[in-house]
Amino acid sequence: MAKEFDVAVIGAGAAGMMCAATAGKRGKRVVLLDHADKLAEKIRISGGGRCNFTNINAGPANFLSENPHFAKSALSRFTPHDFLAMVKKHRIGFHEKHKGQLFCDDSAEQIIQMLKDECSDGNVHWRMPAKVDALQQNGAGYILQTDEGEEIHAASIVVATGGLSIPKIGATDFGYRIAKQFGLELVEPRPALVPLTFDTEEWAPFVPLSGVSLEVDVETGSLKGRNPSGARFREDLLFTHRGLSGPAILQISSFWQPGTPITINLLPEMDLAQTLIEGKGTLKKQLGNLLSQWLPSRLAEGLLQVQGLDPEARIADMKDDTLRKLGRAVNQWTITPNGSEGYRKAEVTRGGVDTRELFQQSMECKNVPGLYFIGEAVDVTGWLGGYNFQWAWASGVAAGLAI
Ligand code: FDA
């Protein structure tokens, strides 16, 4: 006998659990399905195991989407303070780390347990592990078939299956396939918040710098020196064997367009060329020692080597033009990635179900009544720093209240 529910939520991640709990507590009969063996693995590994569960400053400006206004409604109706109230109600200790990012004091497991408890309060039924093999419209509702051979009837369906990042812990293209099945437009998915890679030959001189880390300014660039996306971040950069990583690069990777350069200011507090030219009479040290005062010494050595400059040279003996060229290499390092580390390493997927297909108050499809998309499956992508979970909670609540 088929089981009847008001709503079936597919995907028991951040958005799915929040939605199921919200709808359940309103008295809806909810079933939550997930194909993974282990619950909410992305929450578990997030924030280095401590889950950066929101950002106290989160607002629509911290998200990328083809329609930047779409997220406003859900974000304003369930704010970081609302999530924090839930965290406090469950007596989970937390702290602010950096730029409004809130983390658990102890473990991300506490957030998973909190969401499970909220689902219990809403009498949510679980099917896990259970994969949805097929979804069909059935009059005004839907029929789901699971790989366990169960048939579930539901008046509404919420697709909360996330994006493509980290396939080894269960990411699938299920959400996009369902969107296509119902004729919805997709914004092309791409890895985001991801390390960037460079051509092996071009990168060879920087390989010895692997492990060097420093605070930089980074922006998307163009060869004409413009910043086409307008995005700019001051964060830490990390040199790796294959390219660049660290928060600065993860942030800019979401804005980066393949084939275009990025521009990095390795010494954002100083105009290097001006300092060196003006200091010719007073800065007595050798060039290598001088640069090492301001930059990590391995980086200073590497940069001089790439520029073909002698670290023992005295700046008083150097041409202004040479110092200007060195200044540009430090303050305006423009370099073109050949790609990224891809979904294997990306924290999120940008793109997804086109927001023009959805009502912003409810996340319901405009042309497919009773079908909802929430969380990362939708074309709303947050910056690094707790914003993506805030979108998962807010969009989950929006659908959970509307169903
Ligand atoms: P999510 O991916 O959480 O859940 C989708 C669920 O659907 C999964 O449980 C999956 O098993 C299930 N599913 C998929 N296909 C299915 C199918 N066919 N049938 C049934 N179930 C299916 N964000 C942030 O704000 N702060 C942070 O600290 C971090 N840290 C972080 C670290 C790492 C390593 C990663 C990879 C990501 C982050 N993020 C983050 C991003 C954050 O984890 C992400 O944006 C949210 O988990 C998205 O929530 P969703 O519920 O939309 O998808």
State the DSSP string of 76-143.
HHS-HHHHHHHHHHTT--EEE-STTEEEESS-THHHHHHHHHHHHHTT-EEE-S--EEEEEEETTEEE
Predicted pLDDT at 222 = 62
- Percentages (nearest 5) of helix, strand, coil residues in the chain: 35, 25, 40
Do 161 and 236 lie in a common domain?
A: no
Q: Give the domain CATH number at 284.
A: 2.40.30.10
Amino acid present at 165: S
Same domain, 167 and 45: yes
Return d(Cα 22, Cα 393) in angstroms, integer.
10
Residue to mutate, 19, 46, 144, 148, ligand 1, most ligand atoms under 8 Å from C-beta: 46
Is ligand 1 within 6 A of the CB of residue 221? no
- Alpha-carbon distance 73 to 59, whole Å? 11
The most distant pair of C-alpha atoms in the chain lies apart, rounded to whole Å, by 90
**Domain range enclosing 248:** 196-340
* Amino acid at residue number 168: K
Q: Where does a domain end: 293, 322, 340?
A: 340
In the chain, which residues have pLDDT < 50?
none
The verdict on the CB of residue 165 being under 6 Å from ligand 1 is yes
Atom number, ligand 1, closest to the C-alpha of residue 387: 25
Residue nearest to atom 35 of ligand 1 (CA): 347
Helix (H) or strand (E) holding 247: helix 247-253
Structure tokens, 248:
């600065």
Does 360 lie in the same domain as 216?
no
Note whether 100 and 18 are same-domain residues.
yes
Residue 50 beta carbon below 6 angstroms from any ligand 1 atom = no
Q: Are residues 221 and 167 in the same domain?
A: no
Would you call 291 helix, strand, or coil by DSSP?
A: helix
Same domain, 279 and 354: no
- 258 and 391 assigned to the same domain: no
Residue 90 tokens read as 């469950």
| Pairing outcome for strands 213-220 and 132-138 | unpaired
* Ligand 1 pocket, residue 389 CB under 6 Å: yes
Distance from residue 162's CA to the centre of ligand 1 (Å): 5
Contacts of 250 (CB under 8 A, 6+ apart): 193, 194, 195, 347, 384
Could you tell me the pTM of the whole model?
0.96
Centroid of ligand 1 to alpha carbon of 79 (angstroms): 19
Please give the distance, rounded to the nearest whole angstrom, from the Cα atom of residue 376 to the centre of ligand 1. Answer: 7
pLDDT value of position 1: 61
Residue 32 CB less than 6 A away from ligand 1 = no
**148 and 201 co-located in one domain:** no
pLDDT, residue 45, reads: 96
Q: Are 228 and 161 contained in the same domain?
A: no
3-class SS string, 167-183: HHHCCCCHHHHHHHHCC
Q: Which residue has the tokens 């578990």?
A: 44
3-state SS assignment for residue 146 = strand
Check pocket membership of 36 for ligand 1, CB cut-off 6 A: yes
Which atom of ligand 1 lies nearest, measured to the CA of 131? 19
Q: What is the CATH number of the domain that holds 124?
A: 3.50.50.60
Residues 14 and 137 both lie in one domain? yes
- Final residue belonging to a domain, choices 302, 323, 340: 340
Q: What's the confidence (pLDDT) of residue 224?
A: 62
- Domain boundary among the residues 340, 361, 389 is at 340
Nearest to 370 by CA among 3, 4, 17, 9: 9
- Asked if 121 and 170 sit in the same domain, the reply is yes
> Do 276 and 357 lie in a common domain?
no
**How many Å from the N-terminal Cα to the C-terminal Cα in the chain?**
25
Give the per-residue pLDDT at 305.
94
Domain count, the chain: 2
Element (H, E) at 278: helix 272-278
Instruction: Determine phi and psi for 257, rounding to 5 degrees.
Output: -105, 130
Instruction: Classify strands 30-33 and 125-127 as parallel, antiparallel or unpaired.
Output: parallel
